Chains A and B, each alone.
Chain A
Amino acid sequence: MATSEPPVDSFLPLPPATFHILMALAAEDRHGYAIIQDVAARSEGAMRLSAGTLYRSIQRMLDQGLITETSERPAPEFDDERRRYYRITPLGTSVARAESLRLAQLLSLARASGFAPGRA
């Protein structure tokens, strides 16, 4: 519905599920189940997206323009026609970068206060 792109900062802070989905889509296009598995593997089981949460997030992210549905399909032998594949958009990439930066800054502040391990 948005005609011109809103500023990147307006998306921050990102909900954890959204950030995880963006990370899962960073390297390649994936379908829903693959996203769930990737998120679980990446977080070593700490973040388990449920199906409803996943598609609720996907719907919102599509609306916001962070991801798109892609019509490119993998080779037919790997494909299940029911599956939809999602791809991160340039806006999604910028937003994920901005969120990372925000978290990094936050982390360095936390270190300075002695809340987090590592160099101040």
Chain B
Amino acid sequence: MRFYRALLHLYPKSFRSEYGNELCSLFGQQWRDTSGPAASLLLWIRTFLEILFNAFAVHWDLLRQDLRYTARTLSRSPGFAIVAVLVAALGIGAGTAVFTVTDHALIRPLPFAAPDRLVALWETTPGYSRMELSPLNYRDWKARSASFESIAAHRGLSVNLSGQGEPERLEGSAITAELLPLLGVRPAIGRIFTAEDDRDGAPGTLLLSYGLWQAAFGGDQGVLGRKVLLDGVPATIIGVMPRNFHFPRRDAEIWTPMRFAPAGFQDRNDNYLNVVARLKPAVTLKQAREEMRLITAQLSREYPKENARHGAAVNLLRDEISRQSRLLLAALFGAALCVLLISCSNLANLLLARALARQREIAVRSSLGAGRERLVRQLLTESSVLALLGGAVGVLAAYAALPLLARLVPQSMPVPEPSIDLRVLLSSLVFTVITGIGFGVIPALRGASSTSLQEGARTGAGVRTQRLRSTLVITEVAVSVVLLVSAGLLIRALPGVQSASYISFLPMTVRGGIWPVSVDGNTQLDRSENHTACLRYVTPSFFETLGIPLRSGRDVSDSDTASSTPVAVVSESFVKRYWPGQNPLGRHFNFAFQERTVIGVVGDVRVRGLEGPSEPQVYLSHMQVPDNTITWYAPKDLVIRSSVDDATLLPAVHAIIRNADPALPISEVRSMADLVAEDTGPRRLQLRVLGAFAISAFLLAGIGIHGLLSFAVSQRSREIGVRIALGAQSGDILSLVLRQSLILAAAGVALGTGLGYSAGRAMQSLLAGVSPADATAFLASITIVLLMALFGSLVPALRALRVDPTTAIRAE
């Protein structure tokens, strides 16, 4: 019998307390009617199944009843329902979308086998913490190190693919045969490179990305063995990589073997190899670093001239994502958290106010015999419905926003496009339900436990609840100040970013290189003193076309040929470093294998983004590229300045090029404005996303203040009525309401200003020189928030003014 009673706990409490005794006595009757162990066993089994089925049915009946009731109450206050759902949706949507992106970029392991053992290797010198390796050092490191299972190299590749439809310009990577096995990747079809493909002089081979295979070859299986031309050199397609393989960047489309010609092993300072390695299972990162330190020290002793003060950096591949991208994602993550926080507190506020307003209803229902358990159950259903609706809308919004946010993941990362996964969905769901239950049920429950009809008659809000709600509003205001300030600072930084990008986006920047400089006969190639400069080959009128000012001397000209004196145009920062305060024209320095004569000085450009100062630059004449040695740097991009519009210009350019050489592929003909837009695009996108968060937070805080004051006014209408009856003027009443709003706003602003400053400092490197204490951004944000507070309190204040003293007092 005791077991039977225990089984009855499967029923809802209300049902059990109502019919438990009856059920027990019925069961007792049946028990007495049965005899024999077989019959008793049968009775038990039947009873158990029966209880299971009916308990579920009773729960289901209650749920349906509660859902109907919820639908009725919510449709009676649609404004509340819509606002609550939207508020929840906003927070959850922002949270889900941003968490998805952050998860992909920062949290997930890289999509390679045992990714935590993958490292990147760099050379270091006192000036540079991450420098590519030269083939010679690569060969020596590989031969001498014992910490790694395998070491592989790759370098950027940009080739014209022809012999197959329209010629195309493709980005990709030249890789050594060890690379793909090292990453643990197998091809989707065909084979990957072998050591044979790496041999100098082997027939050309290439691998396609899945995307390129689909786009350019229609996913044709017969593509294997097909011959194409890469920059005019025949090569055979040997395989297609899997759909989710991206390396070293997300946009890599093609891979070719990397071959080292004997000529490549001449200069220990010809650094162009990116190197990845896989740690042996038993070796820690620290041990590998220690070993590499010993090896580089040894190499420094063996090659004191080239490898002086050289070191090695061993970084986890995962940590290679740039600090700036990391920071931006972190900032967005923070912003999304803020929005989530604010929307939760708003939801809490809404539900609290509603629970308080419903105390009377709850009191009536409980005095009519509804058990506490039934009431809680009812409220639970209602909150969960609101939260789930909000969650559903939020996830839909996140889906819609994801393609946009996906562009925030830097192209330079070897990860696929983010997509919402089950974990994120589930955590959003849990989060919503907790919010709903936490703020919808607990306050109501407190109400329900203490409520009697008498108390319900006087709708007095508890002081504690009032204080909680005020705290929530202050938090909302503070968070929206933080977001507005952050967005404001980024907006202030945008012009700097744009102009900086404009001049940094030289089409030949990627073909640059860093070379040692030695001045005035000092031929020792000493990198330790940071005597380096960026090299770029240019054609005449390059500076004029791109708007780089010529400060003195002359541009390179058609007469600077391979047979004439090697000349160089240098940047102002180059002059400042090597000949401070002197006239550089006509001076000589040794650079990229040759003695150069300075013929001109041009303005600085920032080639490496906004963080560092401008590095010294050297521009050499394209006619003076030495044969076969550094052709990689030879100009391949054409820049045209024109006063006509693109539509007229582009066909003309095509015609001229076709005339000159019909076989020459023309790729990526784009206007400079497009290039600049592309370059600043992510930045503006980030700003827009942050701006959207700031606006959401701002609106939410407005709703919060409005809700709090409306509620306070309706709570205090009797007090206000009495005051009016006692002769209070409109001004008094108005200041009564507005004072409350301003106190909340001021507290929030004070808190938010401090936090905003910290946020600004944290993202200082994104601000392109704008101070994190930028007065304009702060003043604008504070003004906006104060105006919002005022606006939010307008309607409640007017309602307070319209309180009719006679009705208010009669209600007493």
Chain A contacts to B: CB under 8 angstroms:
31-33, 36, 50-56, 58-60, 80, 82-84
**22 sampled A-B residue pairs with Cβ under 8 A:** A32-B22, A33-B25, A36-B26, A50-B47, A51-B22, A51-B30, A51-B47, A51-B50, A52-B11, A52-B50, A52-B54, A52-B57, A54-B26, A55-B15, A55-B19, A55-B23, A56-B54, A56-B61, A59-B18, A59-B19, A82-B21, A83-B22
Query: Do A59 and B54 have beta carbons less than 8 Å apart?
Result: no
Q: Which residues of B contact A32 (CB under 8 A)?
A: 22, 26
Q: Which of B19-33 contact A (CB under 8 A)?
A: 19, 21-23, 25-27, 29-30
B538 CB–A CB distance under 8 Å: no
Shortest beta-carbon distance from A87 to chain B in Å: 16
Q: Which residues of A contact B58 (CB under 8 A)?
A: 52, 56, 59
The residue of chain A having its C-beta at the shortest distance from the C-beta of B18 within the complex is: A59
B131 CB–A CB distance under 8 Å: no
Q: Which residues of B contact A33 (CB under 8 A)?
A: 25-26, 29
B142 CB–A CB distance under 8 Å: no
Q: How far is the CA of A53 from the CA of B57 in the complex (A)?
A: 9
Shortest beta-carbon distance from A35 to chain B in Å: 10
Q: Which residues of A contact B46 (CB under 8 A)?
A: 50
Q: Which residues of B contact A58 (CB under 8 A)?
A: 19
- If A60-B61, A83-B25 touch, whether A53 touches B50 (CB-CB below 8 Å) is yes
Query: Do A82 and B15 have beta carbons less than 8 Å apart?
Result: no
Q: Which residues of B contact A84 (CB under 8 A)?
A: 22
Interface 1/0s, chain B 49-78, versus A by CB < 8 A?
011011101100100000000000000000
Q: How far is the CA of A83 from the CA of B18 in the complex (A)?
A: 12
Q: Which residues of A contact B53 (CB under 8 A)?
A: 52
Q: Which residues of B contact A54 (CB under 8 A)?
A: 26
Q: How far is the CA of A36 from the CA of B50 in the complex (A)?
A: 15
Shortest beta-carbon distance from B275 to chain A in Å: 72
Instruction: Please tell me the size bucket of the interface on B.
Output: 20 to 34
Query: Do B22 and A82 have beta carbons less than 8 Å apart?
Result: yes
Query: Do B21 and A56 have beta carbons less than 8 Å apart?
Result: no
Q: Which residues of A contact B47 (CB under 8 A)?
A: 50-51
Most buried by B among A33, A36, A52, A53: A52
Q: Which residues of B contact A53 (CB under 8 A)?
A: 50, 54
- If A36-B26, A82-B21, A83-B22 touch, whether A50 touches B57 (CB-CB below 8 Å) is no
Shortest beta-carbon distance from B459 to chain A in Å: 24
Q: Which residues of A contact B21 (CB under 8 A)?
A: 82
Name B50's contact: one of A31, A50, A60, A83 (CB within 8 Å): A50
Q: How far is the CA of A55 from the CA of B19 in the complex (A)?
A: 7
Shortest beta-carbon distance from B47 to chain A in Å: 8
- If A32-B22, A83-B22 touch, whether A56 touches B57 (CB-CB below 8 Å) is yes
Name A50's contact: one of B11, B19, B22, B54 (CB within 8 Å): B54
Q: How far is the CA of A83 from the CA of B21 in the complex (A)?
A: 8
Q: Which of B295-345 contact A (CB under 8 A)?
A: none
The residue of chain A having its C-beta at the shortest distance from the C-beta of B21 within the complex is: A82
Q: Which residues of B contact A83 (CB under 8 A)?
A: 22, 25
Query: Do A52 and B25 have beta carbons less than 8 Å apart?
Result: no
Most buried by B among A51, A56, A84: A51
**When A and B form their complex, which 3 residue pairs have the shortest distance between CB atoms, in order from nearest?**
A52-B54, A50-B50, A55-B19
Q: How far is the CA of A8 from the CA of B604 in the complex (A)?
A: 91
Q: How far is the CA of A83 from the CA of B58 in the complex (A)?
A: 21
Shortest beta-carbon distance from A71 to chain B in Å: 16
Shortest beta-carbon distance from A92 to chain B in Å: 19
Shortest beta-carbon distance from A68 to chain B in Å: 14
Q: Which of B63-107 contact A (CB under 8 A)?
A: none
Query: Do A52 and B51 have beta carbons less than 8 Å apart?
Result: yes
Q: Which residues of B contact A56 (CB under 8 A)?
A: 15, 54, 57-58, 61
The residue of chain B having its C-beta at the shortest distance from the C-beta of A58 within the complex is: B19
Q: Which of B142-170 contact A (CB under 8 A)?
A: none
Q: Which residues of A contact B27 (CB under 8 A)?
A: 51
Name B23's contact: one of A31, A51, A60, A80 (CB within 8 Å): A51
Q: Which residues of A contact B19 (CB under 8 A)?
A: 55, 58-59
Query: Do A51 and B61 have beta carbons less than 8 Å apart?
Result: no
Q: How far is the CA of A14 from the CA of B46 in the complex (A)?
A: 25
Q: How far is the CA of A60 from the CA of B54 in the complex (A)?
A: 13
Q: How far is the CA of A50 from the CA of B54 in the complex (A)?
A: 9
The residue of chain B having its C-beta at the shortest distance from the C-beta of A63 within the complex is: B65
Q: How far is the CA of A54 from the CA of B55 in the complex (A)?
A: 12
Q: How far is the CA of A81 from the CA of B741 in the complex (A)?
A: 62
Shortest beta-carbon distance from B45 to chain A in Å: 12
The residue of chain A having its C-beta at the shortest distance from the C-beta of B365 within the complex is: A1
Q: How far is the CA of A83 from the CA of B15 in the complex (A)?
A: 16
Query: Do A51 and B26 have beta carbons less than 8 Å apart?
Result: yes
Shortest beta-carbon distance from B339 to chain A in Å: 41
Shortest beta-carbon distance from A106 to chain B in Å: 26
Q: How far is the CA of A58 from the CA of B61 in the complex (A)?
A: 13
Q: Which residues of A contact B26 (CB under 8 A)?
A: 32-33, 36, 51, 54
Q: How far is the CA of A31 from the CA of B47 in the complex (A)?
A: 20
Q: How far is the CA of A44 from the CA of B23 in the complex (A)?
A: 23
Q: How far is the CA of A56 from the CA of B53 in the complex (A)?
A: 11
Q: How far is the CA of A59 from the CA of B16 in the complex (A)?
A: 11
Q: How far is the CA of A53 from the CA of B23 in the complex (A)?
A: 11
The residue of chain A having its C-beta at the shortest distance from the C-beta of B19 within the complex is: A55
Query: Do A80 and B15 have beta carbons less than 8 Å apart?
Result: no
Shortest beta-carbon distance from A56 to chain B in Å: 5
The residue of chain B having its C-beta at the shortest distance from the C-beta of A48 within the complex is: B46
| 11 additional A-B residue pairs with CB within 8 Å, beyond A52-B55, A52-B57 | A31-B22, A32-B22, A33-B26, A36-B26, A50-B54, A51-B50, A52-B58, A56-B15, A56-B54, A83-B22, A83-B25
Most buried by A among B15, B25, B55: B25
Shortest beta-carbon distance from A62 to chain B in Å: 9
The residue of chain A having its C-beta at the shortest distance from the C-beta of B49 within the complex is: A50
The residue of chain A having its C-beta at the shortest distance from the C-beta of B52 within the complex is: A52
Shortest beta-carbon distance from B101 to chain A in Å: 49
The residue of chain B having its C-beta at the shortest distance from the C-beta of A62 within the complex is: B18
Q: How far is the CA of A33 from the CA of B25 in the complex (A)?
A: 9
Q: Which residues of B contact A60 (CB under 8 A)?
A: 61
Q: How far is the CA of A55 from the CA of B18 in the complex (A)?
A: 9
Query: Do B15 and A59 have beta carbons less than 8 Å apart?
Result: yes
The residue of chain B having its C-beta at the shortest distance from the C-beta of A54 within the complex is: B26
Q: Which residues of B contact A31 (CB under 8 A)?
A: 22
Interface 1/0s, chain B 1-45, versus A by CB < 8 A?
000000000010001001101110111011000000000000000
- If A50-B46, A59-B15, A60-B61 touch, whether A82 touches B54 (CB-CB below 8 Å) is no
Q: Which residues of A contact B51 (CB under 8 A)?
A: 52
Name A52's contact: one of B23, B29, B30, B61 (CB within 8 Å): B23
Q: Which residues of A contact B57 (CB under 8 A)?
A: 52, 56
Q: How far is the CA of A80 from the CA of B57 in the complex (A)?
A: 29
Shortest beta-carbon distance from B124 to chain A in Å: 76
Q: Which residues of B contact A55 (CB under 8 A)?
A: 15, 18-19, 22-23
Q: How far is the CA of A50 from the CA of B23 in the complex (A)?
A: 10
- If A52-B55, A55-B15, A56-B61 touch, whether A82 touches B25 (CB-CB below 8 Å) is yes
Shortest beta-carbon distance from A28 to chain B in Å: 18
The residue of chain A having its C-beta at the shortest distance from the C-beta of B8 within the complex is: A52
The residue of chain B having its C-beta at the shortest distance from the C-beta of A60 within the complex is: B61
Q: Which residues of B contact A36 (CB under 8 A)?
A: 26
Q: How far is the CA of A95 from the CA of B148 in the complex (A)?
A: 85
